[in-house]
Amino acid sequence: MMRACIFIVMTLSCWSLWANDPLGDNAGEALFQQKCAACHTVGEGNRVGPDLLDVAKKRQGDWLVRWIAQPDQMLAEKDPIAMDLLKQFNQIPMPNLGVTEAEAKSLIQYITKVSETAAAKSQTDPAATAGSPSSSLQSWWGTTQFAAFVLFIAISLVIAFVFWRVAVSTRQPMATIDMKSAYALRKKLFIGSTVVVLGTLGATLPFTPYSDEIRVPDQLVYVAAKQFGFVYSSEPITSDEDFGRVPAINSLQIPVGALVEFRVTSLDVTHGFAIYGPDGSVVAQTQAMPGYINRLRLRFPAPGNYNVLCLEYCGLAHHLMRTTFVVQ
């Protein structure tokens, strides 16, 4: 009964915090997913950056707001806490993600809310915090790693067998080759493959998309990639100054069947910009390269949620670099 009461009180206090969000409902959570989740967790451990559990209790309010909004400036000023964090986290600086002070406050409220929910959960559910090492050992059987290990052994055995067979076969006398029939076979293969290549070329050439190039696209979307996230905008973002100045499109929507042109660039290292359809298959991809703008023209005949994932290993949080858009 006592636990239930604590839980209800905690939940209600979370709601009241939620209601106080200066940017409205869910703004903090959406921002967190968009700008922070690639490098930070709340209570799930350090990633590229520190775990943010109870960060509002650990740091002073004004310092935290400024750090979220202008980390680059604080690093330039050699703020002692900022320099300490830089050292602790492998010299990977917290990037300026163009977060305003109001947004920073909204983020802090969201993080506080999640921290409190986690605290309430660990009070009511002590099992959640007590991991058992023996159970993790037992569960090794049947994991992906185990399957990969078995596959590795199987492939190794096949390779060893082939080597053994080849080694044994060299001990037998070499068969004599009929050169005349060998040349005849070569001629047939040459003519056959030429017919296949030219035929495929003739059949597919009319479908090349170059004729679409003359058209003005129905929608133009600028994409800037930066460790470890993507930003959509309606004006180009080609520098860190633009990043703070140009308004980002937070929820991108594309009409079904419209000709869309993505203009993709990167502000740091090379990233990939790969679009995955609602069924999880790759629709198209281009590179996001610093100093270049790569154009990707597409039509989306099927409505749904499309995911965008980075397809180029770009650093520690590469696997977390993703965004999304809706075709409707």
CB of 321 vs ligand CUA, minimal distance in Å: 4
Distance CA 239, CA 174 (A): 67
Structure token digits, residue 54: 């109870």
**Residue from 310, 323, 325, 327 that binds ligand CUA (CB under 6 A)?**
310
If you search the block for the tokens 């602790």, which residue do you land on?
A: 88
Q: Does 38 bind ligand CUA (CB under 6 A)?
A: no
Q: How far is the CB of 294 from ligand CUA (least distance, A)?
A: 14
Decide whether 105 or 271 has the Cβ nearer to ligand CUA: 271
Answer for which of 40, 312, 323, 327 binds ligand CUA (CB under 6 A) is 312
CB of 62 to ligand CUA, least distance (A): 32
Q: How far is the CB of 310 from ligand CUA (least distance, A)?
A: 3
51 and 44 Cβ atoms separated by less than 8 Å:
yes
* Helix, strand, coil share (%) of the chain residues, nearest 5: 50, 15, 35
Among 94, 222, 318, 323, binds ligand CUA (CB under 6 A): 318
Structure tokens at 167: 């080694």
Stretch that binds ligand CUA, among 14-22, 198-206, 232-240, 307-315 (CB under 6 A): 307-315
Closest to ligand CUA by CB, 74 or 308: 308
> According to the binding rule CB under 6 A, does residue 231 interact with ligand CUA?
no
| CB nearer to ligand CUA: pick between 99 and 321 | 321
313 near ligand CUA (CB under 6 A): yes
Cα dihedral 205, 208, 213, 214 in deg (nearest 10): 40
Closest residue by Cα to residue 70 from 90, 94, 48: 94
- Across the beta sheet with 253-254, what order do the strands follow? 253-254, 322-327, 304-309, 271-276, 282-288
Contacts of 262 (CB under 8 A, 6+ apart): 221, 222, 223, 273, 286, 295, 296, 297, 298
Question: Which of the residues 211 through 230 are near ligand CUA (CB under 6 A)?
Answer: none
**Taking the complex as a whole, how short is the minimal distance between the CB of residue 277 and ligand CUA, in angstroms?**
20
Please identify, using beta-carbon distances, which residue of 37 and 314 lies nearer to ligand CUA: 314
SS3 268: coil
User: Among 59, 47, 48, 62, which residue's Cα sits nearest to residue 95?
Assistant: 48
| Contact mark string toward ligand CUA, 265..304, x via CB under 6 A | ------x---------------------------------
Of 44-52, 255-263, 274-282, 309-317, which part binds ligand CUA (CB under 6 A)? 309-317
Q: Given candidates 120, 321, 325, 327, which one binds ligand CUA under the rule CB under 6 A?
A: 321
> How many residues line the site for ligand CUA (CB under 6 A)?
7
Q: Which amino acid is at 271?
A: H
Site string for ligand CUA, 152-191 (x = CB under 6 A): ----------------------------------------
Contact assessment for residue 94 and residue 49, using Cβ atoms and an 8 Å cutoff: yes
List CB contacts of 304: < 8 A, sequence separation 6 or more.
Answer: 277, 278, 326, 327
Q: Which is nearer to ligand CUA, 56 or 284 (CB)?
A: 284
- 125/296 Cα distance (integer angstroms): 49
Residues in contact with ligand CUA by CB under 6 A are: 271, 310, 312-314, 318, 321
